[in-house]
């Protein structure tokens, strides 16, 4: 059996889960999310646990078992605790400002970049003296949050020579040495 698929999903207090017609809907203090599930996977609620079951050991069934268990678990964690990503702008003159779910970025281009974020994502931009500007994104939907972060990062990926660009906080950029000084 799939190690991920067979693990039960614990439902914390304050979170309700409803399964109807292959659609799992999870409601909690941070919002409401729903996910359509492949009909070969059955979802059973036993007390405060959700259990995913599959009919056979076919390759497709095993793949779907782990996938949908992970997706539903991410939804439960999202509506109860939420997800948060922090991004850092490294570079001279790089700035970020946020107002009303619109993110304004100055990344060394001749113009500012405005990104309208989905309403499910809360954004905050912090700029402190002598520190790199930070973009803090929060959401209950892990997939949407990751997709938005990837879109923001794609505007100016960190480059390996000076390390300039948009990176996640704590991410380590592999640096290259550049030109060799003593080449003869």
Per residue in 106-135, pLDDT (tens digit) is 999 999 999 999 999 999 999 999 999 999
Instruction: Please list the alpha-helical segments (H only) found in 3-80.
Output: 59-80
Q: Which SS3 state, helix, strand or coil, does residue 142 take? A: helix
pLDDT at 1: 45
Instruction: Give the integer Cα–Cα distance in Å for 121 and 159.
Output: 27
Query: What region does 50 belong to: left with phi over 0, alpha with psi -120 to 50, or beta?
Result: beta
Q: What is the pLDDT of residue 181?
A: 61
State the average pLDDT over residues 74-89.
95
Mean of the pLDDT values across residues 34-55?
Answer: 92
Q: Band of the pLDDT at 5, cuts 50, 70, 90?
A: confident
Query: Distance between CA 46 and CA 81 in Å, rounded?
Result: 22
180: pLDDT strictly greater than 80? no
- Rounded Cα gap, residues 181 and 157, in angstroms: 27
Question: What's this model's pTM, rounded to 2 decimal places?
Answer: 0.88
**Position 2 pLDDT exceeds 60:** no
Quote the tokens at residue 7.
């693990």
Average pLDDT over residues 91-114: 93
- The pLDDT score that the predictor gives to residue 146 is 96
For the beta carbon of residue 45, count every other beta carbon within 10 angstroms.
14
Contact residues for 55 (Cβ-Cβ < 8 A; gap 6+): 40, 42, 61
pLDDT, mean of residues 41-51: 91
Q: Calculate what percentage of the chain has a pLDDT beyond 70.
A: 97
Measured in degrees and rounded to the nearest 5, phi and psi for residue 21 equal 50, 50
Confidence of residue 182 (pLDDT cuts 50, 70, 90): low
């Amino acid at each position: 059996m799939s190690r991920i698929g067979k693990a039960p999903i614990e439902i914390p207090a304050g979170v309700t889960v409803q399964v109807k017609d292959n659609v799992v809907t999870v409601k909690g203090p941070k919002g409401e999310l729903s996910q359509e599930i492949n009909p070969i996977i059955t979802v059973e609620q036993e007390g405060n646990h959700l259990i995913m079951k599959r009919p056979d050991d076919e390759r497709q069934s095993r793949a779907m078992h782990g996938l949908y268990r992970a997706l539903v678990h991410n939804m439960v964690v999202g509506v109860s605790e939420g997800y948060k990503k922090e991004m850092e702008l490294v570079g001279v003159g790089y700035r970020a400002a946020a107002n009303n779910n619109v993110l304004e970025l100055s990344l060394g281009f001749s113009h500012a970049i405005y990104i309208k974020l989905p309403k499910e994502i809360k954004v905050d931009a912090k700029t402190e003296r002598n520190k790199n500007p930070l973009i803090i994104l929060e959401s209950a939907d892990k997939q949407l949050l990751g997709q938005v972060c990837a879109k923001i990062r794609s505007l100016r990926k960190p480059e390996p020579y000076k390390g300039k660009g948009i990176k996640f906080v704590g991410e380590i950029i592999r640096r290259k040495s550049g030109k060799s000084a003593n080449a003869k």
